[in-house]
Amino acid sequence: MALDMKYFEEMEAKIPVGKVRTRFAPSPTGYMHVGNLRTALYTWLIARNAGGTFILRIEDTDQGRLVEGATDVIYKTLAECHLDHDEGPDVGGPVAPYIQSERRDTYGKYARLLIEKGCAYYCFCEKAESGEDTGDFNRAEDPCRALSLEAAQARVDAGEPYVIRQRIPEEGTTTFHDAIFGDITVENKTLDDQVLIKRDGMPTYNFANVIDDHLMGITHVVRGSEYLSSAPKYNLLYEGFGWTVPTYVHCSPVMRDAHNKMSKRHGDPSYEDLKDQGFLTEAILNYVALLGWSPRGDIAEQEIFSLEELARAFDLEGMSKSPAIFDMEKLTHFNALYLRGMSQEDFARAAEPYIRQTVKDLPAGEIAALLQARCERLTDIPEKVAFFDTLPEYSAELFTNKKSKTNPEVSKAMLEAAIPMLEGLSDWTQDAIHNGLVALAEKLEVKNATLMWPVRIAAAGQAVTPGGAVEICRILGKEETLRRLKLGLDKL
């Protein structure tokens, strides 16, 4: 049965050319782990830096691993991270469809074309399909490799089940070029005849990738360095078809420590987990961008980048071959810088749901203003501010502070003086409370801190607080402040 070459010519004619085109091609198998997010980010940055096109493609050929709702997680994460795609399943584009299971017929036709060209063959052996890339194969043992196309076709026509395998040359070497790792040359005899089309007619990951990347006009392919070993086989596929090989960018792994890669199985956080742990999307993206890439030139020392700044600065020369270690402390440092850099309004908006976990009625905006300079993660907030809602149990020992020159006797005297003064205030404002306490300290001939320390301890019931005595009293309100100060006095 001769192939209809018109189909292939029409497919070639559709391929967009002339600008950089990159793709993020996740499998819908669950949450977005950090390595995956970094791949998406780098792929987006390469396209944006070059004024090119960023494509989202869903790779669902491994039907057994699909997870319900996982595609929605991909859309939601990309949208939250502002990694907008120009083409994809939800927005369409010139080379649709963008979901691999909807392109199934295409792969079969191209596999058949590869057979005609002598670069693939029908295999009827019972060999396990997942035995790819294990290295324990022997090409000579596969009798199907030696079958004539006529003999193989007769068995296919008779309904015998088969896979289609890549025919790797027996002699010589294949050289593959990577933008980061340079030239990698392997002996062909070390490569197995990988399966291209499985028995169910679905393509393998490796084959579908090559076909789609070519037909979608992809110029740069970004992926993890764990795929370097299968890369020479891609070259042979491109050569078999007579196609141009795209620029490959293999990223070094993201590690949990010097010996272990990050993995969901070991409880390492996904993007969703990091959000739940109180990290801001902007801080996560900024940190992830620097796991394997460094800015160069006059911005070599810069750490904080907006997405737009990253797009301007990003270049392949700045990428590293060395594994990157994911450091929670460093991410926390980035997050704190981002929280402090927010406008007061934006911070108050972000902080409010966390404040409301422990403080029900007091003004969230005023509490947020105390927190912004003292907060590293949003999830720290509920515990820091819980005292506003409920005075914690505390020991009278807290009233003793060497630096403020206080002890139980001094603190008792200070509260005895502060309570009537505060009771007498007609205005419960920041200035009125502040001026009243400062004037009282002067009258008592003590340092401000000697008076402020016991007032703050009695009002908050804990040694470390966001905000000082004045702010805490103002937010608590007059009645609650005086109630707490009297309880403190009782303790003394």
Where in the sequence numbering do the catalytic residues fall? 264
Q: Which amino acid is at 314?
A: F
Structure tokens at 423: 């009771």
**Whole-angstrom distance, CA of residue 66 vs CA of residue 60:** 7
Beta bridge partners of 87: 55
**Whole-angstrom distance, CA of residue 11 vs CA of residue 214:** 10
- 61 by Cβ neighbours in 10 Å (0-12 / 13-18 / 19+) ranks as buried
Residue/partner pairs of 397-403 with CB below 8 Å, 24 or more apart: 398/457, 398/461, 398/462, 398/463, 399/453, 399/454, 399/457, 399/488, 399/491, 399/492, 401/453, 403/449
**Whole-angstrom distance, CA of residue 78 vs CA of residue 55:** 12
CA distances from 242 to 142, 237, 325, 406 (A): 26, 8, 40, 84
Q: In 295-322, which positions are buried (b, 16+ CB within 10 angstroms) versus exposed (e)?
A: beeeeeeeeebebeebbebbeeeebeee
The closest alpha carbon to 327, from 379, 299, 291, belongs to: 291
- How much is the CA Rg of the chain, to the nearest whole Å? 32
The closest alpha carbon to 443, from 481, 411, 414, belongs to: 414
Beta bridge partners of 44: none
Residues with Cβ within 8 Å of 218's Cβ and at least 6 positions away in sequence, in order, are 21, 22, 23, 55, 212, 246
User: What is the per-residue DSSP string for 418-478?
Assistant: HHHHHHT-S--SHHHHHHHHHHHHHHHT--HHHHHHHHHHHHHSSSS-SS-HHHHHHHH-H
**Whole-angstrom distance, CA of residue 283 vs CA of residue 306:** 9
